[in-house]
Amino acid sequence: MTRQMTGARMVVQALKDQGVDTVFGYPGGAVLPIYDEIFQQNDIRHVLVRHEQGAVHAAEGYARSTGKVGVALVTSGPGATNAVTGLTDALLDSIPIVVLTGQVPTFMIGSDAFQEADTVGITRPCTKHNWLCKDTDALSETIHQAFHVARSGRPGPVLIDIPKDVQFANGEYSPPQATNTSNYQPQLKGDIESITELVEALESAERPVFYTGGGVINSGPAASQLLRELVDATDIPITSTLMGLGAYPASGKNWLGMLGMHGLYEANMAMHGCDLMINIGARFDDRITGLLDAFSPGSKKAHIDIDPSSINKVIRIDIPIVGDVGHVLEDLLKVWKARGRKTNKAAIAKWNDQVAQWRSVDCLSFKQEGKIIKPQYALQRLEALTKDHDRYITTEVGQHQMWAAQYLNFEDPNRWMTSGGLGTMGYGTPASIGAQMAHPDSLVINVAGEASWLMNMQEMGTAMQFRLPVKQFILNNERLGMVRQWQELLHGERYSHSWSEALPDFVKLAEAFGAKGIICSDPDDLDDAIMEMINYDGPVIFDCLVEKHENCFPMIPSGKPHNEMLLGEASTHDAIEAGGAVLV
């Protein structure tokens, strides 16, 4: 059934029909008709950000923490171009968002009108799909299709560019159930013969490893539960990419921790030495593989992914399975159980003994001495004092991000939001706002570096306006930490522009926004200061002054295999004793 309404009203009605309750945006001339419709309703909350990049990152944080599609609304021209970084971030990390942009009227397109940009052309490379909707009658169906594309298959960002005259004009509204989505129906069920082949490989493997990614989380809670059942039943070690943390609990006995460039020693050594690698919902990112020719050289490789283009894109796969992680794991468990729940138990027990030997290296060990806070210690204490809370963590990008992944533990999916593929400095603050809007009663903490945090600090105004008690936990080393580390290790200690000059007083800055500011420089005061942050009912900027020249280890240098990691001095001897070839 259809009914007449303006294009602007169609937008709002379509969002309601898609179950949207929150939109992050910034108004401008080309979207004022839509904003006028938003003003006249109460079902959808609009969150006014301070920058369009913040709107898209907030929508990402909302989506990642809920499993739903995030929505951003921005104007034409600079509004749309400011959204490009967020769109690219969401594309690389497979985050489902819908971005609505205003456009100049159709009769002015191509005339270099005020605030005109070729939004569809600009965003084509950084969206899963985009549309320029010139027909009001087609607008509602386009929006419903956009939500379908964003959430289906490998999730990702989509964009709809809506000219202003289309918003004013009347047209026929079509509800979601009348929308034809048959032209995009990704394969959900995996090939049963390939699944059976994987089960056969699993039954005989002597040194198997599960390598999981964000695709497990994107598939939904059932996929994480099936993964846990499979790991616990087979007693096979499991590691994860940065994006997959929480799919398997950090407290699980088979957990190896994160792998990759700054992954744990035991995870990287297991990946290097396994004879069966089962990739579940990960894309063989270069930060994971390291030197391609030396990546897990002796293993048979299986890859479960809903995106066919990911199969054999980077690494040659022996057992490819295209399908949704949840569906494939369900069938894999059924086949494995029907065949008698067999594994090579003696060999796997020996393999787990080797893993335990690698784990005993304790590659994350550090010494907290003196009166300067080690960044590892700051995050260790943050974990201890917040782990029992209903907690969501976002991060900025840099050393602090890697330390957060190493020292904070996640028991459930959708609790960890970080910029993985694009590595977007400025992601964390708006993402924390999106997560806090979705979970108003939860503890939301953004782990930041001072340089990254300054990139979108204006969003503290959004936090204050909407009374969002987000906690900004800044590890302040007065350096572009990861840049400085690479310059030290790889560029002859030539520190070209890696100092954070002219930093603000973060306490005064917090107070200028109306938030609470806390500064801590003494490890003896850290616990009390963290508790003060947690207990404060409102936004907090926590300025944690840490060791300025601390490096983030373990680290696989560029061009090196997994078994040639740089470790901190405390772990090097133990690693060599445990059978690892370690560069020092």
| Chain Cα centroid distance, residue 248 | 16
**Domain end point (choices 178, 209, 244):** 178
Note whether 11 and 133 are same-domain residues.
yes
Judge whether 566 lies within some domain: no
Say which of 68, 108, 115, 168 is annotated catalytic.
115
Q: What pLDDT shows up at residue 2?
A: 58
Cα–Cα dist 581/584, whole Å:
10
Note whether 412 and 266 are same-domain residues.
no
Note whether 202 and 289 are same-domain residues.
yes
Any idea what the CATH number is for the domain that residue 209 is in?
A: 3.40.50.1220
Cα–Cα dist 282/265, whole Å:
20
Note whether 14 and 133 are same-domain residues.
yes
Nearest-CA neighbor of 131 among 147, 115, 108, 152?
Answer: 147
Judge whether 571 lies within some domain: no
Tell me the pLDDT band of 568, cut-offs 50, 70 and 90. confident
301 has a pLDDT exceeding 60? yes
Q: Within a 13 Å sphere around the CA of 257, how many CA atoms are in the beta-carbon half?
A: 26
Of 278-287, 420-429, 563-572, the one with minimum mean pLDDT is 563-572
Q: Is 71 left (phi over 0), alpha (psi -120 to 50) or beta?
A: beta
Note whether 313 and 338 are same-domain residues.
yes
* Residue range(s) defining the domain that contains residue 471: 375-552
Instruction: State the amino acid at position 15 in one-letter form.
Output: L
User: Is 271 one of the annotated active-site residues of the chain?
Assistant: no
**Domain end point (choices 325, 359, 393):** 359
Q: Is 250 left (phi over 0), alpha (psi -120 to 50) or beta?
A: alpha
Q: What pLDDT shows up at residue 263?
A: 96
Query: Can you give the length of the chain in residues?
Result: 584
Note whether 174 and 227 are same-domain residues.
no
| Chain Cα centroid distance, residue 388 | 22
Judge whether 531 lies within some domain: yes
Tokens of 263: 């992954």
501 has a pLDDT exceeding 60? yes
Q: What pLDDT shows up at residue 6?
A: 98
Cα–Cα dist 518/503, whole Å:
16
Say which of 52, 450, 547, 564 is annotated catalytic.
52
Tell me the pLDDT band of 569, cut-offs 50, 70 and 90. low
Judge whether 331 lies within some domain: yes
Is the distance from CB of 56 to CB of 93 less than 8 angstroms?
no
Note whether 10 and 126 are same-domain residues.
yes
321 has a pLDDT exceeding 60? yes
408 has a pLDDT exceeding 80? yes
5 has a pLDDT exceeding 60? yes
82 has a pLDDT exceeding 50? yes
The Cα-based distances of 409 to 124, 183, 274 in angstroms read 37, 41, 25
Note whether 173 and 204 are same-domain residues.
no
Q: What pLDDT shows up at residue 99?
A: 99
User: Is 114 one of the annotated active-site residues of the chain?
Assistant: yes
Tell me the pLDDT band of 563, cut-offs 50, 70 and 90. confident
Q: What pLDDT shows up at residue 581?
A: 46
DSSP state of 72: E
Tell me the pLDDT band of 287, cut-offs 50, 70 and 90. confident
Say which of 425, 482, 533, 555 is annotated catalytic.
482
575 has a pLDDT exceeding 60? no
Residue 518 exposed, middle or buried by CB count within 10 Å (0-12, 13-18, 19+): buried
**Domain end point (choices 129, 154, 178):** 178
User: Is 193 one of the annotated active-site residues of the chain?
Assistant: no
User: Is 387 one of the annotated active-site residues of the chain?
Assistant: no
If you average pLDDT over every residue of the chain, what do you get? 95
Q: What pLDDT shows up at residue 394?
A: 98
Q: What pLDDT shows up at residue 205?
A: 98
Q: What pLDDT shows up at residue 558?
A: 79
Judge whether 527 lies within some domain: yes
Say which of 16, 41, 114, 253 is annotated catalytic.
114
Q: What pLDDT shows up at residue 577?
A: 53
Judge whether 19 lies within some domain: yes
DSSP state of 499: B
Judge whether 440 lies within some domain: yes
Note whether 198 and 170 are same-domain residues.
no
576 has a pLDDT exceeding 50? no
Q: What pLDDT shows up at residue 584?
A: 38
> Can you name the residues that pair with 211 across neighbouring β-strands?
239, 279
Percent of the chain with pLDDT over 70: 97
Q: What does the pLDDT look like over 7-60, one tens digit per residue? A: 999 999 999 999 999 999 999 999 999 999 999 999 999 999 999 999 999 999
Note whether 60 and 119 are same-domain residues.
yes
Percent of the chain with pLDDT over 90: 92
Tell me the pLDDT band of 562, cut-offs 50, 70 and 90. confident
Note whether 64 and 154 are same-domain residues.
yes
Q: Where is 472: in which H helix or E strand?
A: strand 471-476
Q: Beginning with the edge strand found earlier in the chain, give each strand of the sheet holding 97-103 in spatial order.
A: 45-48, 22-25, 70-74, 97-103, 157-163, 129-132
Cis peptide before 554 (omega within 30 of 0): yes
Tokens of 338: 């029907």
Cα–Cα dist 21/440, whole Å:
13
As a whole number, mean pLDDT of residues 230-256 equals: 98
Note whether 341 and 427 are same-domain residues.
no
Any idea what the CATH number is for the domain that residue 382 is in?
A: 3.40.50.970
Say which of 128, 164, 471, 516 is annotated catalytic.
164
Tell me the pLDDT band of 572, cut-offs 50, 70 and 90. very low
- β-strand pairing of 3-6 with 170-173: antiparallel
Give the dihedral sign, CA 380/261/298/563.
negative
Q: How many helices (H) and strands (E) does the chain have?
A: 24, 20
Which residue's structure tokens are 């790991």?
Answer: 231
Judge whether 492 lies within some domain: yes
User: Is 266 one of the annotated active-site residues of the chain?
Assistant: no
Q: Where is 445: in which H helix or E strand?
A: strand 443-449
For the chain, what is the domain count? Answer: 3
